[in-house]
Amino acid sequence: LERAAPSKLYRLGMEAMQLGLMSAGMAPVVDRFRPVMQRVARQSGDTVFLIVRSGDHALCLHREEGPYPVKAFVVEPGSRRLLGASSVGMSILANLTDAEVLASYARHEAEYGRLRFTADRLMRAVRDARKKGYSEAQDFRSDETNGVGCSFKLSRGSFAGISIAAINSRMPPERRRELGQQLVHEVQAFAWSPETDREPPERKPARTRSA
């Protein structure tokens, strides 16, 4: 369950809804974002992931493969990683307040330590993601892949994100910057709007330069 702030009402959390829907063979969130994921995967050539926040963790809902033959399958659909352990997880973490980020760090200090994160280093990465609008991260398990991720509000109180991962040779700084800016452009079109409190209309495919 998750609290619908600022009210005292509680509702079924995103993770519980998604696990129930996926087990029933239905995934409306995936269906909604599959077209943009397929487009980004086709244009970039690399692997694209859809992630939702699940408490202090990031839950992978879906993955789309680009045409480049060497794949970067850094996470499997249905698996979770600590927020901050991936590019999109760091971008989601950047939506929280400093106090919330540090509270999450305190709850998982040992795991963050295994990821080579001190509290100061985590906060620097969070502030960098806030400044750029997206986050970059090297995979902590292999050091052979790199990724960029951008988060957005999926609904009131729920965060999700899309990321692109590739082998290091395909991710020099200038390309990470280009892909990050592309993701920022993409998510702006379908992020939840607090003014209307409803989902935005379908968007037409953006014209972007192929990688």
Helices 98-107 & 119-132 angle (0-180, nearest 10): 140
- Assess if residue 193 is contained within a domain: no
How far apart CA 185 and CA 201 sit, in angstroms, is 16
Is pLDDT of 55 > 80?
Answer: yes
Interval 30-42: pLDDT, tens: 998 999 999 999 9
CATH of the domain at 81: 3.30.450.40
162-187 average pLDDT score: 95
- Assess if residue 198 is contained within a domain: no
Q: What is the pTM of this model?
A: 0.79
- Assess if residue 23 is contained within a domain: no
- Assess if residue 9 is contained within a domain: no
Sign of the alpha-carbon torsion through 116, 139, 103, 177: positive
Interval 89-110: pLDDT, tens: 999 999 999 999 999 999 999 9
How are strands ordered across the β-sheet holding 80-82? Answer: 80-82, 57-64, 47-54, 158-167, 145-155, 135-138
Query: What total of structural domains would you count in the chain?
Result: 1
- Assess if residue 22 is contained within a domain: no
Which residues constitute the domain of residue 81? 28-188
- Assess if residue 8 is contained within a domain: no
Cα-flanking dihedrals φ and ψ of residue 119, to 5°?
-60, -40
